[in-house]
Structure formats: structure tokens, C-alpha cells
Structure 1
């Protein structure tokens, strides 16, 4: 009779025997029982010891995976909309991150169309076939899509992005087939010439609420842009609430009298325009103020105006003043003469919030009175003169070395 006791290796939460008899309680601590020859023991490294462990994803049934993904999806939503996230790469975003774990996870994710209603396209890593697949997976649901670049690649090849435009155009051609159910369309590219040309977007987008055509540098026109406005043009987007355009596309919006026909528009942002008397047209401060004036008079919904990194071809403000009664104005890297013209040409109350960000510029000659909240960001000069004519209730100074205890005089 063999009296040799079986060799038992027990780890946290379970007990395994070479004779396959019985199972220990889940409360037992890791221990070795009846060890006769330690050199024959096959060790299982505990995760607390820092050793890598292979996870077998197949042990999770599809029903449990689906429940987990539903919770992750819910955490990514707020009031029925996707929570804003970093769009530089979809590698860490839902559903792309879990879909990359294994085929089983991806198969489960592909069963639910709503999981694929936020699409992030990285021109440096995403294949065109992937774009088609993502759009197909969302089926007939409304979706939002962001087309961007890999910032690490851009940082090392700022002068070698000749293929950015063709790649962006190929993606836009695929989106156009589904634009009727697009709720948010955002292009965040390096060059202005790579952005879709607004004057060639003859599309109907009844669900579109956010449109962003933004770039890092203004290098010229889209190759399709000529000197003439198309005879037939109808970019239909009545639900548009947030509009972010680079300077050249905003200039076209003005020429086409489109921006001022948006009844739901709440936020308008214009950025990246180098100026310089372009053959395809010019952009004047008058164009911006006129659009804001007409939007306010017709619909009264516009709440925010943002101008960033713009060198206007001219000011051309009118004597009567513009009705730009909006809640907030943000000016970043804008010529101070332009900022002064904006506040001098307005009619009615000042915006409740004024944010000015600039580098090494005096602001004492800008009329900032009546603005309830004033935010100044950057190493401004003549700070005390500017504050002395401001009579609001909330002042915020950011990144300004010239601001100190002596800037604001104390009571007499």
C-alpha cells in the first residue's frame, strides 16, 4: 500500500491536489501541505510578488463582458452626450481600448451600435478601411467624429506633412455619405490647406450641432478653393450650436452669408489667419462683428465669441456700432488695436466675461469698463492703468510677472 501523501499546492482562494480530491475553502491562506520533496514543487507566483500573470479573457462569458462594457459606456456619457476627452489617439478611449484587448472583447463590443457613436480618426495610424468599419458599426445612430493627427509625429515632421491634405480628403469623402446622421464633426489638423473647404461642403446635416475646422498653422487655401463662390451652395445645418472655423473658412462663411443664418448658434470661434491680401479674398474685423450683430438681432442665442491668432486684413468698423450683446468674449494672440476696436465699436452692455491673453503688450488703452469678470493672461505691461478703468466685480490675473502687490493701489 502506497502511504505517500499527495503533493498539494495551494494559492490564494483555491487548493489543487495531484489526486484531485476535494477543494479548500476560499478563506484559506496560501500554504503547502504534505510537502515531501520540495524540489518537485511547481510554483505559482502570487500577484503581490510583482511577477507577471497571463490573464485568460476567455473565462469571462459574453453576458458578463457586455455588462462591464455597458458600465464603461455609461461612465463615458453625461446627459446623453460623450464626455469630452483627449482626441490625440483612440488607443486609450472607449470602445477602441477594450476592442484592442482580444478578438472576443471586440466581437462583444461590435454587437452594440451605440458603443461606436464616438469615432476618433488619427490620420497617422487609422486605415481607411477602419473608417468604413467604424461608420458601419454605428449603423443608423447619430454619431460624432474627430479627425486629428498624432502629435508626436507632427512634432517631428512639421515641414513634411504633404500627405495630410489627401488623407483628410479621403476620410471626408467617407464621412459625407453619413453626414445626415452626424452630430459633431471636428477636424483638428496641422495645416489650413488640409481642412475641408467650407464652400465645397454642399451637404445636408440636420443633426449637426458642432462643427470644428481648426488647424495649427495657416499655410494657405485648400487646393479646391478658387477665386469664385460656387453658384449653387447649400450647407444645411439648422441645429448647429457650436461653430469653430479657421480664418479662411470663416471668410467663406461670410461671403456665402451662411454663418448669420444659423438660428441655434451659441458659440462662435475664429482662429488661425495670417492675413496678407489673399487673391481669394480678405478677412476684416468688420466681417466678424457684422455676423455677431446679425445673429444677435435675428435670433439672440449667441453667447460666446472667441478670436485666436488672427491678423485681420483690415478693421473697417462702422460708425453706428455693432449690437454684440453676448455673455463672453475671449481674445488670444490678437493685435491690441483689434481688441480696442472691438470694445469701442460695440453698442449696448459689455460682455459679462472678458478674457484677454497676449504676450508683452500694453492694455491700458482698451476700454474694459462694465465687464463683470475680467481675465488677463500673459506678461502684460501697464497693468495698473488697465485695472484702474475697470469697474467689475471679479478679476483674474494669470501668468503675469508684472502683477504684484503694487499693481493695485490700496485704500487711502
Structure 2
């Protein structure tokens, strides 16, 4: 019988425990592929968000790709899914490639360091037949470059994308030149029944038509349709050419509401279709659609009609008008004047050209040139809520004009300082007197004797005196949220 000392026993136990630990040692690289897949799916879901509304494509489908959509994330982030896991090791990449849902967000950079076409093709292949989100863009610091090769890089991506248009759920281009964009009328074909967002953005109209040259018979035989579209952002040339060449596309838009932004277009004399689509044609198209939000940063060819323009009522509730010419702004505002609209946002436009009455519950003026007579424009407006930002010609005369607006209830200004507190007081006094008369006549049961429920002045150069603060507290609706700020002071007008 062998006798072992205590030290021998401890040494043997230590050796045994180390051997067992070595044999049972587990790292993430030794995990079963099924478990790694589950971890990847969990990571994938971290980049997804549940659909807040029923998607056009999710009927009776329990796949998570149909119940969720990609989050709005920084597309440059190195950890963006599946970029991080596929660059770790070959095994992880091979496991990820077995899951088509991981490859449904396709990102192609087209600046001086372009995404390899082989990578774009890999994503298109691995995503099988699932709905995809496609982003074609430049890195943020490259939009001031000349972008000499941008057009060809975009064309290469577009050619890879064309056979997959039917399964695109989102297509987003953000480039420098308008000719780098895909052409709706010459590049897209077939029923894109999944497509909900089509964003074709550019910074410059380079006067060239987008799209490939030559005839594409598949487009004539199978026109582009977007029956599920919810958001359309498109340059004016693309939109006008598509309206002229694909009437079936316009028909496919009629059955549902969507947001429309038309931008960056000046008709070119060298492109016949630019001149064939006029402002009146544009309004005729809008009259057929259910656009709930319309944004315009564009020009259309203006041909005086041979017959009087009918009294169109555009379908949208909200309008954004940015950097329009005098005649175009006037034409659009004349159409809007035919109805009471919910909201109008106007930026960098010659508002002084508008000399007729119009109505909008919300009106925003942003960055209006100091040479424009804002007071005359506001004298034409009938509405309740006004926001004015960076408008040097918003002055005492403008406040006097607002005093005559019996519907006026809310004013917010930011970085406007060419008006005086005295003029604001006079406006409030005039409005309150109007409310008092209406209450005496049996109207305005919700005003409590005060016209304004909200008064916010931000970035004014002159602070209020104690007496002025007291006056405003007694003459602005006490339940409103109101303030007057300068660069170094914040004053609440409501106690």
C-alpha cells in the first residue's frame, strides 16, 4: 500500500484540474455553428426596428425580415452589421453567408474610394430573393470634390442593380450630379411591389439627362410600377421625363398617399423632354395623385397656356417651397390660394412677389432675403401659427400686418432683431382688442380674452425691461409657453 504525503496529493490534484480545464476549455471559435448563427441573428436584430405600420409586403409572413426594417444608422460605422462579423474570420463569414437576411442592406460608395463592384454583387447574390435596401452615396467629406468619375461608378452599380429592382424596398442615391442618378424612365422596369422609398438626391443639375443611352425593350414591355411607394424624392428632370414616358407609372401611384419632393432642376434647351413638360403638366399630374406632403426645390418650363388655367386644388396638406424663382413661387402660391392648407414652409424665396390672399394654418419663413417685403407678404396671409427664422426684413411693419390677422394665435421668431418690443406690444394689444370684440359678439369661446397662446422670441438683440416683462405676462395667454431670449439672457414671459 502506497502512502502519499499531503504535498503529493495537492500536486496531483492541481495537475488533474489543469488537465480537465484544458480539455474542457471553450472559446467563441469553438462554438457550434448553430450557436454562432443564433448569436449573429441576435446581433442582426440589434440593427433592425419593428415596423410601426403594416408593411405592404408583410401579409401573413412571419419572417423577421418582413416584420422589421433596417435602422437609420451611420453607414460608415466599422461595426455596421454584418461588416464587423464578416471581417473577423473566414468561418464567421461562411456562417453569415448562410443567412440571406443578413445581406439585405447594400451600401455602395461612389467617391474616390469606391466600394468594389464584387462586394455589391456578393450582397445581391447572398440576399437571394429577399427585399433589399440599397444605398449609393459618397462619404460626407467628398461632396465638394469634382466627382469626375462619379457618373461611371454610379452606372456600374445601377447595371448590377437593375435585375433586382422588383425586390427593392428602399433605393437611396445621394450624389453630386443629376446625371449620376438612375433614370426612372430608362433604367427601371417591372413592378417594384416592395418599393416604399425611392430617394434620388443630387447636389447639382449638370444639364445632362440621366440613364443609359440606347433602347431598352424590356422597359416598353414591362413598365416600372411602384404600387407601395410611400416616399419619393427625385430630381425634376427624372420626374418630368418619367411622367412623359411612363404613364403607367403615374397610374400605379394613384391608389395610395405618399410624400413627394422634387428638386434640383432647371430645364435645358438642349434636352427636348425638359421643355415638353411644363408647370401646367406638373400641376395636372399632382391633381391625379394623393400627395400628402409636397416639397419643391425646382423649376419647370413655363409656357403661357392657350386656355385659362383651371382652379386646381392640390392634394397635399403640407408644402415646402425652397429657392424658387419669382414666377414659379407666384404660380404655386396662386394654386394654393384656392384652398385652406395646413402648412406652408418657404425658404430662400422672393416672397415679395406674392400680392394676393392665401390661407395656411401654419406658416414658416426661413432665410428670406433682407430685400424682400415680408410685411406685404404677411398682410396677404390668413392663418394661426407663424414661425420666422433668419429673416432680416421681419420688422415693425411685419408685426403691424400681423395685427390685422384675426386668426393669429402663435408666433415664434429666431435670429430676427429688426423689430422692437414696442411693436410686439402693439401687435398683441391690437389682437387682444379684436378677440374682445369677437367674444362680445358671441365668438371665440376658447380664447379667454387673449389672442396669443404662444409667443417666443429667440436671439433678439434687445432684452426686455422689468415693466415689459410684466406687461407681456398680463397680455399673453397664461397657459401658453412663451419666452424672450437674447444671446446672454433667457426670460420667461409667463410666470
TM-score for both structures, normalised by structure 1: 0.74
C-alpha deviation, 1:265, in angstroms: 4.6
Superposed CA offset, 1:269-324 (max 9, x none): 111112342332224222221111122xxxxx32011111x233216475212120
2:200 aligns with one of 202, 213, 218: 213
Aligned positions of 1:11-30 closer than 5 A: none
Q: In the alignment, is the contact (CA less than 8 A) between 1:90 and 1:121 conserved in 2?
A: no
Match of 1:127 in 2: 116
Match status 1:330 vs 2:317: no
Measured in 2, the distance between the counterparts of 1:315 and 1:351 equals 27
Structure 2 gap segments, 5+ residues each = 1-13, 19-26, 52-67, 394-415, 431-495
Match of 1:67 in 2: 39
Measured in 2, the distance between the counterparts of 1:221 and 1:85 equals 32
Q: Which moved further from structure 2: 375-384 or 173-182?
A: 375-384
Q: Which moved further from structure 2: 70-79 or 238-247?
A: 70-79
Structure 1 gap segments, 5+ residues each = 1-18, 24-55, 296-300
2:80 aligns with one of 88, 93, 113: 93
Q: Which moved further from structure 2: 382-391 or 96-105?
A: 96-105
Cα 1:180–1:387 shift into 2, 3 Å: same
Measured in 2, the distance between the counterparts of 1:326 and 1:225 equals 35
2:100 aligns with one of 113, 122, 132: 113
C-alpha deviation, 1:20, in angstroms: 7.8
- Structure with the higher helix share, 1 or 2: 2
Measured in 2, the distance between the counterparts of 1:341 and 1:196 equals 30
Q: In the alignment, is the contact (CA less than 8 A) between 2:109 and 2:137 conserved in 1?
A: yes
Match of 2:140 in 1: 151
Comparing both chains, which one has the higher relative contact order based on Cα–Cα distances under 8 Å and sequence gaps of 6 or more?
A: 1
Match of 1:77 in 2: 49
Measured in 1, the distance between the counterparts of 2:125 and 2:268 equals 43
Match of 1:397 in 2: 388
Q: In the alignment, is the contact (CA less than 8 A) between 1:146 and 1:187 conserved in 2?
A: yes
Measured in 2, the distance between the counterparts of 1:368 and 1:72 equals 54
What do you get for the CA RMSD once the two structures are aligned? 3.3
Match of 2:288 in 1: 294
Aligned positions of 1:369-384 closer than 5 A: 369-380=358-369, 381-384=372-375
C-alpha deviation, 1:367, in angstroms: 5.0
1:355 aligns with one of 335, 345, 351: 345
Q: In the alignment, is the contact (CA less than 8 A) between 2:314 and 2:335 conserved in 1?
A: no
Q: In the alignment, is the contact (CA less than 8 A) between 1:276 and 1:313 conserved in 2?
A: no
C-alpha deviation, 1:330, in angstroms: 0.8
Report the number of matched residues.
Answer: 351
